[in-house]
Chains A and B, each alone.
Chain A
Amino acid sequence: MPRPEIGKWGRRFPAQILSLVAFNGYFWRGGGKYLCLPVLNCYACPIGTVACPIGSLTAFALARRIPFYILGFLGLIGLAVGRAFCGWTCPFGFFQDLLYRIRSFKFRLPRAANALKYALLVVLALGLPLILAGGKRAGSEERITSEQSGALDYCSLVCPVGTLEGGVPVLAASAEVRAQASWRTWSKIGIAAAILGLAVVARRSFCRALCPLGALMALTSRVSVTQLHTEDKLCTRCMRCVKVCPTVARHLPFKEFRTEAGAECVLCLDCVRNCPEKGALSARFAGKTISVSEGKSRE
Chain B
Amino acid sequence: MFKQIIDLGGNEWYLILSLWIFFVFFVFVAIWLLRMRKPYSDYMSQLPLENKKMEKEQFLD
Note whether A and B form a binding pair: no
Footprint of B on A, CB under 8 Å? none
